[in-house]
Amino acid sequence: MLRYLTGRILGLLPTLLVIVTLSFLILRLAPGGPFDQEQGLSPQVRANLDRAYGLDQSLPVQYAHYLRGLLHGDFGPSLRQRDFTVRELIAQGLPVSLTLGLAALLLALAVGIPAGIAAALWQGRAPDHLLSGFAACALALPSFVVGPLLALVFALHLHWLPVAGWQHGMPRYLVLPAITLGLPMAAYLARLMRASLIETLRSAYVRSARARGLGAASVLWHHALPPALLPVVSYLGPAIAFVVTGSLVVESVFGLPGTGRYLVQGAIDRDYPLVLGMVVVYGTLTLVLNCLADLLYGALDPAVHHA
């Protein structure tokens, strides 16, 4: 297990390097620049700005300087928010995005897995039909539609929850964003859990357990559910990365000061260091979480051995 974990960690580094390299080249080779929106800049002032931020150097030199800073944990200065470094902006926004992502994930697990189990046990009956309708609606409606609808009903009409904004230590500000972000994942988890459990309940070893006289609850919890959870565990790695990194629209709709806002604004402003810093953070989270999901998969499935 230790050798496998070491190998996976070492394998993350080349993948992350490829992500950083491609992102760097795409940003730098795209037309436009970070100071194009500045009005009335003379060519001399623009040249001075390029020189100050090293943008007048060749791409290989800029890339080498960026990698050198990255090895020391330095993401560079923000080209547009000049009072902050990229590391300071990430430190401000990442806790909010992680909190939102964790809340959405817990909601999706708490709703999706029990709903999938119920639909599988009552296949073809009312719970199954209700799940199908819920999953279809949740997956079809985009977050920029669901979010305003929830705010309209629960904030503007019922006055139960705030419309938008953020106050540290106030969970009520996370309720609507977490529901908006977690609803599609809950629907997908429910459908995945339903299909996996139905297939497992039809397997030979489950029929053998029933033939030995074991009760329905014992068959479900001890024989059917652990293997049925394996596809769910496989999905958790990218799902966790999605709720952390895919909250761009939700953070914009509800005015949350997370990293998604900085990524969107950085892309609009062509703030190279800010966008690259977010890509590095998101890429690292995605790779690490997928590695953890693989380890959890191996812990649930005795047939998987990490040599």
Burial of 181 (0-12, 13-18, 19+ CB in 10 A): buried
User: What mean pLDDT do residues 81-87 have?
Assistant: 83
3-state secondary structure 79-106: CCCCCCEHHHHHHHHHHHHHHHHHHHHH
Tell me the per-residue pLDDT of 46-78, one tens digit each, with 9 for 90 and over: 777 777 777 778 888 888 888 888 888 888 888
CA angle 257, 171, 260 (to 5 degrees): 20
For residue 85, what are the β-bridge partners? Answer: 77
* Euclidean distance between CA atoms 90 and 172, whole angstroms: 24
Report percent pLDDT > 90 for the chain. Answer: 3
Percent helix, percent strand, percent coil in the chain, to nearest 5 = 75, 0, 25
Backbone angles phi, psi at 235, to 5 degrees: -80, -20
CB 197 within 8 A of CB 131: no
For residues 133-172, one letter each, b for 16 or more C-beta atoms within 10 angstroms of the residue's C-beta and e for the rest, the string is ebbeebeebebeebbbebbeebbeeeeebbbeebeeeeee
For residue 156, the model assigns a pLDDT of: 87
The domains located in the chain, with CATH, are 16-71 (no CATH), 89-300 (1.10.3720.10)
What is the C-alpha to C-alpha distance for residues 114 and 164, in angstroms, rounded to an integer? 30
Q: How far apart are CA 250 and CA 183, in angstroms?
A: 12
Mean pLDDT of 277-305: 73
Q: Does pTM surpass 0.85?
A: no
Query: What is the per-residue pLDDT for 50?
Result: 74
pLDDT (tens digit per residue) in 96-141: 888 888 889 899 999 989 988 888 888 888 878 888 888 888 888 8
More confident residue, 102 or 210: 102
Average pLDDT over residues 273-296: 81
Beta bridge partners of 77: 85
